[in-house]
Amino acid sequence: MATAEIEVEVLAVDEMLHKYGSVKVTIERIGPDKAREYLERNTKNRRLNERHMKRLCDAMSAGEWWMNGEPIIFGSDGNLLNGQHRLTATIQSGAYSDFMVVRNVDEDAFRTIDGGRIRTTGDVLTIEGEKNANQVAAAIQALVSFVDLNGNVYGSTNAGRKATPILTARVLEAYPQIRHSVHAMNRNNLFRNQHGNMLHMLFSLVSSRLADDFASVLTEGDSDIGRPFVVFRESLVRTPARTELRRSYCAKAIKAFNAELSGERPKMFKFIQGEEFPTIVGLDYERLAELIG
């Protein structure tokens, strides 16, 4: 190494020691009591996001929390700069979890914390080389919500648990056919969303042939205009896709699938307010809930 480079390196070390010599990093196992103690020093944090905290709590309760290098941070004055959601989730879950803890950080660094974009489950699947990663992740989230709502669909995609990367991996291992469902439904423009993908996968658990017919009819139509899938398709053509009608679309899709199974040929499918959400005939709901957990 050249003399100039050595001098620069020495200067950099000296500068870092001057700037960060008092910073201390530890890994700690934190339970509810310690979390409460640390939260007493929470004077500068943003307002608690209940939804985000609940997702962390669910992950901790399920044993899905990992020490991933994201630290709990205290300033040089001892106040908490980062970690209130994780500490609150620790209290709510009652779990003991391992965290990296950083102390004596300059308080001026507070404005830079959490400035980056949150890494989504789709981002994680993309990094792992999954094709159609965002669509696969969204379909799994819809499936987890469907199970948590006891076989129901509501307008919000955030109902139920957050499908964490660990939960997503577990669901994908149990139901790898989700990949095929995303691929099969990708060509249609009428019901191409996370719930359409989810329903195709659920239908395939009963009849893979009818599930693929469902995707094919939505994409290309069918000469048999009285076929239940065609009747459902025409209802989508007449009614443009709207988020507030998501539950109705899913209910009608299930009714069409059930009619295909039974051989019935209704002239139309309705789902009125207050009506009980239909069940998929032949689907083992208990097994589904058992595998997803």
pLDDT in tens, 3-14: 555 454 555 666
Q: What local confidence, expressed as pLDDT, does residue 117 receive?
A: 56
Mean pLDDT (whole number) for 43-53:
77
- pLDDT (tens digit per residue) in 200-249: 999 999 999 999 999 999 999 999 999 999 999 999 998 877 777 889 99
Q: What percent of the chain has pLDDT over 70?
A: 88
Residues 145, 91 within the same domain: no
Residues 248, 183 within the same domain: yes
Q: Do 199 and 250 form a contact (C-beta atoms < 8 A)?
A: yes
Residues 251, 158 within the same domain: yes
* Total domains in the fold of the chain: 2
pTM: 0.70
CA neighbor of 196 nearest in space, from 215, 171, 222: 215
Letter for the amino acid at 1?
M
Residues 169, 188 within the same domain: yes
Instruction: From 112, 137, 155, give the residue that closes a domain.
Output: 112
Residues 105, 178 within the same domain: no
Parallel, antiparallel or unpaired: strands 71-75 and 24-30: unpaired
Q: What percent of the chain has pLDDT over 90?
A: 60
- pLDDT (tens digit per residue) in 184-197: 999 999 999 999 99
Residues 107, 152 within the same domain: no
Round to whole Å and give the CA distance between 210 and 234. Answer: 18
Residues 132, 102 within the same domain: no
Mean pLDDT (whole number) for 17-34:
88
Which residue range is the domain that position 178 belongs to?
A: 121-292
Residues 218, 272 within the same domain: yes
Residues 84, 125 within the same domain: no
CATH of the domain at 107: 3.90.1530
Determine the distance from the C-alpha atom of residue 92 to the mean position of all C-alpha atoms in its chain, rounded to a whole number: 20
Residue 45, SS3 per DSSP = coil
Sheet containing 24-30: give its strands across: 24-30, 97-105, 71-75, 80-82
Tell me the H-state helices in the chain.
3-20, 32-39, 50-61, 84-93, 121-127, 133-148, 165-174, 178-185, 194-206, 208-220, 228-238, 246-262, 285-292
Q: What local confidence, expressed as pLDDT, does residue 8 receive?
A: 47
Instruction: From 68, 89, 112, give the residue that closes a domain.
Output: 112
Residues 156, 92 within the same domain: no
